[in-house]
Amino acid sequence: MADTKHIQLAHGGGGQLSAELVRDVILPALGGGQDPRHLTDAAVFQAQGAKLAFTTDSYVVQPLRFPGGDIGKLAVCGTINDLAVAGSKPLAISLALVVQEGLEIAVLREMLESAGRAAQAAGVPVVTGDTKVVGRDACDGLIMNTSGVGLMHPAARLGFDRIATGDAILLSGPLGEHGLAVMSCRKGLSFSAELASDCASIAELTAALLDEFGPAVHFMRDPTRGGLAATLAEIAGGCGRDIEIHQTAIPVNRTVLAAAEMLGLDVLAAANEGKLVAVLEPKLADKAVAILAKHGLARQAAVIGAVGAAGDTPIVEMVTDIGGRRVVQMPYGEELPRIC
């Protein structure tokens, strides 16, 4: 029988339990007023004539270092990406630390220097922060919290209500690289080809789409916790329409597939930290892929599916590589704990 009285690790996994926690506990306690099906990774609001986006996130990845990145780079890129998919140009971020007693100062310095390099590379300064120290058994070495503010693109018109039947669904590159890199590192697995996290800023990708297509881009999201499966389930629920994707169109690297098979994990539910899912008018899909592919992060960008008809119980279906059909469900909890 499921424990309904205590927080579980799965409540932080970006899946069904996370959604229930937000819907049943967090939003009511804070005053409600928002439909949990329509929440996005950043809030958009007006301030003295400017339209801004604001977001916050906490990072608890273990181990602190992993192939392709570390908690510092992850925290900065993750917040920049949440601002970017909201349709904004990231302006500045904060960085707060919860440090466990006993952590080597050299390790802390390494993580902060990595965060600094990521912020400088993206042109988004860290402008404020905070530090707290807790006991030796109180956290996993280091927790980073980042918040960010961005200026909305003047042509951005994004939202679940903008998604229409027939819209194309784009993915900027191969799935699962972050989740499988971290988990393989934990398990001590090695492969003939390097398996590295995709941790990176996608602000250039979102800006390129908005600069070229403006309001024809209807929705954007970075498929982090819960992976592509959670993202598509949220889109289907938010817009009230079915979604169909094609397995043969979804880019996945062979090493990621091998790692997922060894660990018994679903690539569709694995976390990503440098990927973009975009929904836009179908006639523009091929041109959008070509624009994304000009950027190194999106060389394998592809149209992976389309939005279907409206319905009372919208679902996500994947046409498999052998021609069958599989329902893609919102993950229940978290296949990969402490992943981001």
Domain boundaries, the chain: 40-152, 160-327
CA separation for the pair 53, 46 (Å, rounded): 9
Per CATH, 40-152 and 160-327 having the same topology is answered no
> Which pLDDT tens digit goes with each residue over 40-87?
889 999 999 999 999 999 999 999 999 999 999 999 999 999 999 999
Q: Which CATH architecture has domain 160-327?
A: Alpha-Beta Complex (3.90)
Helices (H), 103-192: 105-122, 177-187
pLDDT bucket at 9, cuts 50 / 70 / 90: confident
Check pLDDT > 80 for residue 218: yes
> Which pLDDT tens digit goes with each residue over 117-168?
999 999 999 999 999 999 998 888 999 999 999 999 999 999 999 999 999 9
Check pLDDT > 70 for residue 232: yes
Token readout for 193 is: 């080809």
pLDDT score at 338 = 72
What's the mean pLDDT in 265-274?
Answer: 95
Interhelix angle 254-263/177-187, nearest 10 degrees: 50
> Which pLDDT tens digit goes with each residue over 279-333?
999 999 999 999 999 999 999 999 999 999 999 999 999 999 999 999 999 987 6
What CA–CA distances, in Å, run from 328 to 16, 71, 198, 315? Answer: 13, 30, 23, 8
Vertex 222: Cα angle to 129 and 231 (nearest 5) = 125
pTM of the model: 0.92
CA separation for the pair 213, 234 (Å, rounded): 23
**Assigned CATH for 40-152:** 3.30.1330.10
Percent of the chain at pLDDT exceeding 70: 95
> Which pLDDT tens digit goes with each residue over 15-48?
777 778 888 888 888 877 676 666 788 999 999 9
Check pLDDT > 60 for residue 1: no
Pick the closest to residue 145 from 161, 164, 132, 163 (CA basis). 132
pLDDT score at 28 = 87
pLDDT score at 197 = 96
pLDDT bucket at 336, cuts 50 / 70 / 90: low
